[in-house]
Amino acid sequence: MTVRHQPMIDEWYPVALASQLPPGGRATQLMGTPVLVVADDPIRVVTDDGRDLPVTLRYGHVWTSLGQPAKQLFDIPEADQPGRRLIEVGVVRVRCSPLRAVENFLDIAHFPFVHTDILGAEPHTEVGKYDVEIREKEDEVWATKVQFYQPQAAKSATGGITTDYMYRVPAPTSSVLYKTCPARPGEWDVITLFVQPLQEDLCDVWPWMALFDDETATTDLIHFQQMIFLQDRSILENQIPRLLPLDPGREIPTRADLTSVAYRRWLKRHQFTYGAQLVAQ
């Protein structure tokens, strides 16, 4: 791997669900490098040449890095909040850039067309004005005051509601979404997308949730999220160009794409370019 990907090599990535690790371990890869997640106690991650990689167990997943992370894995304080149910959704492989998987997660405008009658519905297609910033202290991308009309915002929603959203990108291939919690007004449901970059145009996606919902069966919560993500998958696999363009020229963003614009700018600032296209073609 070339040195130009060093900033992303030094980041944390999910490589397995700790609860689903088979006795023989999980042979997988990270940014083109084969790694084995070993089901020892404690869990280890090793490379083919026997190098032990750093390991963090958090949010149900095994996290590792091929390099030397300068920071600990990002914090999601809600994960430790009493009363939340932590839902492991499992893995889905997608033939797309890991950065495209995150960018799609940040987009609201596609809801009525891809998640029809669930996360959006025609004619309620307008994305209202919302705020986007790159928070310097946390070094994260945040979108706030996002609102959207949704026929069935969550498994626990019984009718259409206007849902409030916040989006957060704390790492190049991870995103955290906060949305109106139908079961407990005043709190936010937390839905995350943890993306494991296998290659520049191939990734394993591990959705995970921390919800207030005392009624819905766990299986139904998993299936709701799998349904949403599998609706996205066929779109993601057909996006062109396959790598995410970081230079202007190839794609023309609209106001609804402000989160994506900030995400791309933040990626470029940090040289997080694994899965990105740098020169407009």
Q: Which residues of the shown chain bind another protein in the complex (CB under 8 A)?
A: 17, 20, 88-93, 95, 113-114, 116, 122, 204, 217-220, 222-223, 226-231, 233-234, 237
Quote the least distance from Cβ 223 to another protein, whole Å.
4
Tokens found for residue 209: 């949730």
Quote the least distance from Cβ 118 to another protein, whole Å.
10
Query: How many residues in total does the chain contain?
Result: 281
Which residue, 188 or 194, has its beta carbon nearer to another protein? 194
Quote the least distance from Cβ 12 to another protein, whole Å.
21
Quote the least distance from Cβ 15 to another protein, whole Å.
12
> Among 226, 267, 266, 259, which residue's Cα sits nearest to residue 243?
267
119 contacts 155 by C-beta, under 8 angstroms: no
> Among 95, 184, 109, 114, which residue's Cα sits nearest to residue 143?
109
Which residue, 16 or 267, has its beta carbon nearer to another protein? 16
Tokens found for residue 129: 């004005």
Cβ neighbours for 130, distance < 8 A, ≥ 6 positions apart:
143, 144, 145, 146, 147, 258, 259
The letter for the amino acid at 139 is D
Which residue, 89 or 211, has its beta carbon nearer to another protein? 89
Which residue, 39 or 166, has its beta carbon nearer to another protein? 39
Which residue, 72 or 218, has its beta carbon nearer to another protein? 218
Number of Cβ atoms within 10 Å of the Cβ of 108: 21
User: Phi first, then psi: what are they for 186, rounded to 5°?
Assistant: 100, -25
Quote the least distance from Cβ 94 to another protein, whole Å.
8
